[in-house]
A and B are shown apart, each in its own frame.
Chain A
Amino acid sequence: MSEIFNEPFPLAYGTYEDAVKLLNKPGEKVVSEFSVNWEMIKIYCSMVEDGNPSYWDEEYANKQWGGIVAPSGLLLTWPMSLQWHPQKERKHYFIAMTIPLPGDTIINVATNTEFHRHLYLGDRVSVVDELTDVSEEKKTRLGIGHFLTTKAQFFNQRDQLIAVQTNSLFRYYVPEEES
């Protein structure tokens, strides 16, 4: 039984051949809209109930790291685009969303991240990512589609490398008889 949802998630549509043409072409560097801030760090830590004083206690964090640091799991959040902006059109910074393929939805499959240094309050993150692999069509228990692998490099405002992340997701559709 299909159900109605407000609107489909905006993705680029095309063929496997269209996607292959975009392999190993880094996208534009995206600079985050806002800087690393303590308020968002606290909200995130409250979500996973993480009481690590590196995120909550200035005295401890100053002594251990030289300041409050951002949890590693917030890395992808800093460059997220706002839901609305008076001048800018909302767009994905994840290159995976902009790869033309037939599937109308995605699910993340694997994420590997190497961290080089901490992010501190006030830092401004930028990211460059590229498509490094796209599979031929596969059928899984969720549906039919393609596995995409991307590599993203995250920097601070001094162009120091913060982290490198390799991500795999499944771009797919649920066949009609199963939806």
Chain B
Amino acid sequence: MSREITFKYWNEISEGDAVTSITMDVPFERVILDAAATQDYFPGHHNPAYARHQGQKEIYLNTMAIEGFIDRVATDWAGPHTFIRKRQMQMRSSIYAGDIIQGEGKVEKCYQDDGRYLVDVSINISTESGLCVPAVLTLELPAAQPS
């Protein structure tokens, strides 16, 4: 099923605008796919006994999967013409197999720098247990829709 693609332009965005929320389930299959897709075979991402040895309750998504989901929240909202200039994220709590994640955010700042049209957005990734990964991204967008 194809999704509708939206294109936002810098001059259409205002501070305080909401970033469209996205939800995605995280079954065991996705966590294993994550290890394979990112070539990250650290055992906490595929071996439940190892994850528990680490003090985790279950195998969990790696940083690269979470980055991909954060970026998707940003670019599904702003459009595929977005260049992600900067991403800052903190892993406060792991995202486990069996969780459902939600990404939502808002526009913090719109500004120009060195000829670039930039938007800072805060994006929070949460599960039923609460906030897991807060992030702030700087997005570069076209200034205005081409006439």
Contact = CB atoms under 8 A, between A and B. Distances in A.
Interface in B8-42: 24, 30, 33-34, 36-42
Contacts of A87: none
Interface string B35-57: 01111111110010110111110
Contact of A115 (B40, B50, B85, B91): B85
A173 to B, nearest CB: 10
Given A5-B49, A5-B50, A174-B54, A72 B87 contact: yes
Interface of A: 2-6, 9, 40, 43-54, 60, 64, 71-74, 76-77, 80, 83, 105-115, 118, 141-143, 174, 178-179
20 contacts: A3-B52, A5-B53, A46-B37, A47-B33, A47-B37, A48-B69, A50-B71, A51-B5, A71-B71, A72-B67, A76-B38, A77-B64, A105-B54, A110-B88, A111-B63, A112-B88, A112-B89, A113-B87, A115-B83, A178-B55
B72 to A, nearest CB: 4
Contacts, number: 137
A41 B34 CA distance: 12
A43 B3 CA distance: 18
Given A47-B65, A115-B83, 8 more contacts: A2-B53, A6-B43, A50-B68, A64-B81, A112-B87, A113-B67, A118-B83, A179-B55
Given A76-B64, A112-B88, A114-B85, A52 B50 contact: no
7 closest A-B pairs by CB: A73-B67, A73-B68, A48-B68, A80-B39, A3-B49, A5-B50, A5-B49
B129 interface: no
Contacts of A46: 33, 37
